[in-house]
Structure 1
Amino acid sequence: MNRSAYLTTGLAIKIFSLLSKADIYMHGQENIPSGPTIFVVNHFTRVETFLLPYYIYNLTYKPVWSLATPSLFKGGFEKFFDMIGVISTSDPKRDELIVKSLLTGKANWVIFPEGSMVKTKKIMAGGKYMIAHPSGMHEPHTGAAALALRAELFRTHLLRTARLAPDRLPPMFAALGIQSISEIQLQPTTILPVNLTYYPIRAAENIALHIASRLVKDMSERMVEEIMTEGTMMLSGVDLDIRFGKPLSMGDLLKEEWLAEDMARDGITGFSVTPELKERMRRTSHDVMQHYMHDIYSMTTINHEHLFASFLQMYPLRRIRESEFKQRIYYAASLVTGKEDGKDVFFLHKSLQENQAHLLTDDRYRKYANFLKLAEEKGVVERKGTYLHTDRSRLSGPLSFHKGRIDNPVEVMANEVEPLKKLRSLLRLLAWQPMAFVRLAIAWYLFRLENDKYAEASRSVGRTA
């Protein structure tokens, strides 16, 4: 790829990011390794394909390339994607390019293990990671793990051969298109889990849709949905929390027999490995995939709408008094902040890190009002006097893959936190508790808060005396 074109196109992406009303919050940048890295990321919008590599590049100053579905490489987009470092998943040289760039440190990579956008955020089935797709449920792909392991296997074998039998290196260099051992990275190959959480999720007609409708005749339902959802979020305002997890070093996962037996016997004759070695590495690749999928989704940034939607999904009755709904969510918010047991168990949106008394009083930040408006519009709840009546089919029914974000974003919100077992258990327990117990728990919680404030004030007076 042309480096100058890559940097020039990055300026265009920078302008786009400045024009959008998305507020980007990055967490865990200190976890990004300096060596060759594959960033594995959950996939919800198209713009992630080019925006995320841009933001990572600004942190690492190393080109970040990514993979995208072949359907996007049509018309003028093929040249644009080539300039920004996006490769088609059907490119015959895909694996070769990824392994070589990791070996030499020429570029890092962004790979979406779901294989495509998961618009419904449905990624669990039967307690396992299973990706919802129009063609049916499937396991996340192991490609990122397999390629990272292969790059690390080659890197370790080349460095070991350079020490023990340097005369065997020339044919391996020729097979890889490498000139000397100095091109090989000394640092191990790593996989870094990354989570992206958007808040709020809304879809509506917007200026991008009006422009596109004039330029493109007979837009597909899929294109209309993506522009309505992603255009609204980017142009009307959305918080995007980007969390970088702990790196997984592939050097710790290499098996000695792969090096001492397979590589010692076969050497490196290209960017592939023998079918026998590939099969031996398959189990490790699958285990690595399960590891990074857990890490990705355990970093989901919890927000108010996750609590509202998940609670309604678990509440056993078909109606709930509004005041009770607010009280239960208030207590849920107090629990997820960790203030009840002194532990930081969850990652929270900034709005959940503040005092949540507004949920019980005037709703000054409109967290409840905005959610309720959306839930009523989508037929999830109906307000009758002081009660909310829920439509259970709108909380756990099958979602249209390409229309779910428009038709029922409330269920999408609940789906997003399904992998967070501790949160789900907490909300399920709270949903089944008698209201008398909830009120008592809230009273005790508020008493403790005031007692803590009084104790802190007393200590402050003592320090200044």
Structure 2
Amino acid sequence: MFKKDLLIDSSGYVLNLLEKILSTNIKVYGIENIPKDNPKIFVANHFTRIEALVVPYCLYDITNKKVGVIADDGLMKSYFGNFLQNIGALSKSHPNRNNIILSDLLTAKKDWLIFPEGRMVKAKDITKEENHYTVKINDNKSRVFTGSAFFALYSEILRQEHINNNIKNKNKFNRKYLINENDTIATNETMIVPINITYSPIRTGENFLQKMTKRLFDNISEKFLEEIEIESNIVLNSKIIIRILKPISLHKMLKNSYGLELNHNTIVEKLRYELTHKFMKKIYENLTIRFEHIFILILYHLKEEKICKLYFKRIIYLVAKRVKEDCTLFEDDIKNDIINLISYEKYPIFDEILKIAIKDKIISQTRNDYIINRDILLNMHTHDTIRLKNILRVVLNEVLIIDKMNEIVKQKVELTHEQIDEELLHILQEKEKNEFESDYYKFSSNSNIKPKDIGTPYLLKDNSSKKCILLIHGFSSAPKEVEELAVYLNNCKFNVYAIRLKGHGTVPEDLKDTSYKDWYNSVSRSVTIASLKYEEIDVVGFSTGGLLALLSSKKYLPKLKSIVCINAALNLNDIRIKTVLPAIDFWNDIVSSFNAHSLKKEYVENKARYPKINYDKFYIKAILQLKELMKVTKQNLEKINRKILIIQAKNDPVVNMSSAYEIHDKIKSKNKKLAIFELDEHVIIKGKNTKIVFEKIEQFLLDK
């Protein structure tokens, strides 16, 4: 068993162990919603035992005020018992529980946390029935308890009675509610503060804490083992999201009752159910939506027993977009750009949840489809086994109560494949257009901003062709850079789509705060757009665009036929990258240590070959992202097996010729060609001597 001094300090609060384990895992939102000077009852949903420790600990850390909790008798007798007693927890069966809580609320000595569900709801099986919520555990249904509403209402009635000098026997009052002669009754009203607790993600599986528990304790019950597996995984692998919601004023509810000849109990009975429904509605509807919610809710609302793999991902994307527009609370796994989910490559979050669904036999798969076993999906098992046997059903239950989410998913799963493609194409094209418009507007007051046509992505059409060539420009450049090549290829009867990498075609400051992942996402979006419109796609990238073209070859897209990389920036000649950049980094570290931030060097000047298109300075942050892209591309060369043409200028002043040979030697493509040209420019797709390069590309693209 853990030693006491590992768990509690002199004031009765968790120190080293709890802080170290949880410091990076807990995210608290809505701190501004905590009333500063009011007695408070915090009310929260209840899924794990650790909530009885973690939430009071976090609230104490925020308010510097102890928060008591009503704990299950079994928990008070466990190895958490000492800690719980030190924070002022009471067991459910404590004989004087009610008066102790009312005393703390009257005097504002201590706030309280209560779980109105009454016990852990492991399955999260909550339903709304008329004007109340019902908890279902195994086959037993029970209404959410109204005790927290009772304490809040009753304490406020007693407070008003005291303030109005309506207490007939003050000595009896003080004895009953443990009011000492030095205590004062707080004048501010009691407030209810709802809290939603969410875990992201919820996972199962053995871990070292579980193994350690088995070694420390003998004869552990199956129920306890289940709880240890779930809760240790949460502590080790999950983000605990504590969302504090706006407080509920009791004064407003009670004002019509003040002064009336009504029995206290009559008032409380009249209002406790209304108040409980009000705060539980807030708790349940303020769930933080996660990727896995969308995944499992789509499976639940599907009318067919199978779904095309490709369209499953597309529906997830469409739902996620609506969630971001219509719902206020969602996790980073939805908030971030999820374009690579639908751009034909592995997507870790999706793959992780899919693995669970397959393991639990909710899903089986053929080459093109997922087959859903609805009976297994809906199997509730038992209260003490569902989290281990069907964790995705728990996730489903959590979101079934959110009406808006269910409306969104129902609407999207009823779309035909054609409607999905049409909507997706519109969304992606609008996103590309709006992204540039937004970036351009953001920096429109900058006197050095490029003319708008420099950075605008464009499509040159040829209606006789079903083939599209994607052109990717270089670092600090813009779509205008590839225009001569675009026009040439369009004259060769190809559709040509010149894309814009995020951060480019505006001002250098725009590029400063973008990452190579943002650039790759721009490519992924363009590949997806092209795949929705054309039967064949080829990706042609220049310089940095060449690296991104190489990375795009990992996409599982039969329509993607070949890659062309031109002077791909794998190894650079620029000595500044090797010497000046580390020196600047070192200098910036020194001045930062002295808080002399004004002396930091943020960028290096760039004497561009085409200053109308390229930026005149490179921010250090952007160069570091280019270096990272070079590194990632090197790591992925051996995975490339598509048809490829590698073009390199022999005397390129920017890109070392070793780049082309390294690419050629390391990739696994059976159909690979290397073309070295006797040219001494880096930008060999503009100006003189472009014809031989363009003709080589044309010949390669036409070669079946």
Q: Retained in 2: the 8 A contact 1:69–1:88?
A: yes
1:445 aligns with 2:448: no
Indicate the residue corresponding to 1:157 in structure 2. Answer: 161
Q: Distance in 1 between matches of 2:238 and 2:398?
A: 16
Please say if 1:310 is aligned against 2:297.
yes
Report if aligned partners of 1:36, 1:107 keep a CA contact under 8 Å in 2: yes
Q: Are 1:238 and 2:235 matched, yes or no?
A: no
2:34 pairs with 1:32: yes
Q: Percent identity of the aligned residues?
A: 28
Partners of 2:336 and 2:78 in 1: CA distance = 48
Per the alignment, residue 534 of structure 2 pairs with none
Distance 1:150 1:405 in 2: 37
Q: Report the counterpart of residue 454 of structure 1 in structure 2.
A: 436
Q: 2:189 is matched with which residue?
A: 188
In the alignment, what sits opposite 2:142? 138
Q: Shift of residue 173 of structure 1?
A: 3.2
- 1:129 offset after TM fit, Å? 1.9
1:354 to 313, 336, 340: 336
Tell me which residue corresponds to 1:88: 91
Shift in Å, 1:10: 4.9
Structure 1 residues 59-91: Cα deviation after superposition (integer angstroms, max 9, x where no partner): 111101101111223266544421232211111
Match of 2:319 in 1: 332
Of 16, 22, 27, the residue aligned with 2:18 is 16
Aligned ranges 1:315-464 → 2 under 5 Å:
315-338=302-325, 345-361=327-343, 366-460=348-442, 462-464=444-446
**Pairwise CA distance, 1:139:** 0.8
Name 1:298's counterpart in structure 2: 285
Query: Residues 147 and 363 (structure 1 numbering): CA distance in 2 closer, same or farther, change over 3 Å?
Result: farther
Amino acid at match of 2:64: Y
Secondary structure of the structure 2 residue equivalent to 1:309: helix
**Structure having the larger proportion of residues in helix:** 1
Residue 649 of structure 2 is matched in structure 1 by none
* Unaligned 5+ runs, structure 2: 1-6, 448-704
How far apart, CA to CA, are the structure 2 residues paired with 1:413 and 1:40? 21
| Post-superposition offset of 1:286 | 0.3
Corresponding residue of 1:251: 251
Distance 1:76 1:394, change over 3 A: closer
Query: For residue 492 of structure 2, what is the aligned residue in structure 1?
Result: none
Indicate how the Cα distance of structure 1 residues 11 and 152 shifts in structure 2: closer, same or farther if over 3 A, else same.
Answer: closer
Give the whole-Å Cα distance in 1 for the aligned partners of 2:11 and 2:207: 25
Shift of the alpha carbon at 1:427? 0.5
Q: What does 1:63-102 correspond to in 2, within 5 Å?
A: 63-74=66-77, 77-102=80-105
Deviation at 1:175, TM superposition (A): 4.0
For 2:49, what is the secondary structure of its paired residue? coil
State the match for 1:265 in structure 2.
none
Cα distance, 1:305 vs structure 2: 0.3
CA contact (8 A) 1:28 1:244 kept: yes
Q: Counterpart of 1:203?
A: 204
Are 1:6 and 1:84, in contact at CA under 8 Å, matched by a contact in 2? Answer: no
Any idea what SS the aligned residue of 2:189 has?
A: coil
Q: Counterparts of 1:302 and 1:77 in 2: how far apart (Å)?
A: 31
Query: Cα gap change, 1:361/1:54 in structure 2, threshold over 3 Å: closer, same or farther?
Result: same
Report the counterpart of residue 285 of structure 1 in structure 2: 272
CA distance in 1, matches of 2:251, 2:446: 54
Q: Determine the C-alpha separation between the residues in 2 that align with 1:233 and 1:170.
A: 49
Name the CA distance, whole Å, in 1 between partners of 2:74 and 2:276.
25
Question: Compared with structure 1, are the counterparts of its residues 159 and 6 closer, same or farther at alpha carbon in structure 2 (3 Å cutoff)?
Answer: farther
Instruction: Give 1:120's aligned residue.
Output: 123
Closer, same or farther: CA 355–124 of 1 in aligned 2, 3 Å: same
CA distance in 1, matches of 2:86, 2:134: 33
Task: Provide the rounded CA distance (Å) in 2 between the counterparts of 1:461 and 1:147.
Answer: 55
Shift of 1:460: 4.3
- With normalisation by structure 2, the TM-score equals 0.59
- Contact kept in structure 2, 1:22 and 1:233, CA below 8 Å: no
CA distances 1:205-246 after superposition (whole Å, capped 9, x unpaired): 2222222223332211110101111112212x1111111111
| Cα drift, residue 459 of structure 1 | 2.5
Cα displacement (A) at 1:331: 0.7
Residue 265 of structure 2: SS of its match in structure 1? helix
**Are the aligned partners of 1:153 and 1:259 in contact in 2 as well (CA < 8 Å)?**
no
What whole-Å deviation, never above 9, does each CA across 1:171-204 have from its counterpart, x for those lacking one? 5334433246961112110001100110111111
Cα-Cα RMSD: 2.3
Q: What do the CA deviations read for 1:97-143 (whole angstroms, capped 9, x no partner)?
A: 11000110111011001000111111116575211224711110000
Deviations 1:304-332, CA, capped at 9 Å, x for gaps = 00000111011111111111100000111
Whether the aligned pair in 1 keeps the contact of 2:135 and 2:143 (CA below 8 Å) is yes
Give the Å deviation of 1:42: 0.6
Matches for 1:206-225 after TM superposition, within 5 Å:
206-225=207-226
Report the Cα distance in structure 1 between the residues aligned to 2:78 and 2:407, rounded to whole angstroms.
48
Does the aligned pair in 2 maintain the 1:133–1:401 contact within 8 Å?
Answer: yes
For structure 1, list consecutive stretches of 5 or more residues without a partner in the other structure: 263-275, 339-343
